[in-house]
Amino acid sequence: MKTLFTVAGVAGLAVLAGCAPAPLTKADVDGRIVCNSDYMDQVERAARREAKQVLWVNCPHAVLRAV
């Protein structure tokens, strides 16, 4: 019985490992435009300190550069 569970567990892990996304390469990342979460966090913290409300219509953009 333990052998059956072990085999099933290993097979399940193999299936899940096959679904893992491939790591990003430099070509995938270079020049990619994403939301600037650091800037958004700074603005939201400042708004909380000043008791203001921030509503994001569009996120500020940052361009990722691979080194």
pLDDT tens track, the chain, 67 positions = 778 878 888 887 777 777 767 777 777 777 788 888 899 999 999 999 999 999 999 988 888 777 6
Q: Please state, in angstroms and as integers, the Cα–Cα distance from residue 11 to each residue in 3, 4, 19, 21, following that order.
A: 12, 11, 13, 19
pTM of the predicted model as reported, rounded to 2 decimal places: 0.51
Contact 39, 60 (CB under 8 A): yes
Q: So what's the pLDDT on residue 15?
A: 72
Helix (H) / strand (E) element for 33: namely strand 33-35
Q: So what's the pLDDT on residue 20?
A: 66
Contact 8, 42 (CB under 8 A): no
